[in-house]
Amino acid sequence: MMKVYDCCDLIRERYAQIGSGDQAYIPQAISCALRALNSIASDASLPKDAREQAAFAAANLLISDFEDRS
């Protein structure tokens, strides 16, 4: 399982901002991630490699057992 310290600087920065209350926390994080991955996968201006990675990650999230809890 990936931990925050395994992530890039930008992700760790956002994590700290959300934890401190400087950025909004989104309870439905899986839906948020899927929207972001879909945006990346559908952006024809991005490299195909990045789009493929985003599509693969999104498809796996959709197939997984995880569900957002309200």
Mind listing the pLDDT tens digit for each residue in 33-70? 999 999 999 999 999 999 999 999 999 999 987 666 65
Which pLDDT score is estimated for 29?
87
Which pLDDT score is estimated for 69?
60
* pTM of the complete model: 0.81
Write phi, then psi, for 12 (nearest 5 degrees): -65, -35
Give the list of residues 6+ apart from residue 4 with CB closer than 8 angstroms, or none. Answer: 11, 12, 15
DSSP letter at 65 equals: S
Which pLDDT score is estimated for 1?
84
Q: What is the 3-state secondary structure (H, E, C) of 2-53?
A: CCHHHCCHHHHHHHHHHHHCCCCCCCCHHHHHHHHHHHHHCCCCCCHHHHHH
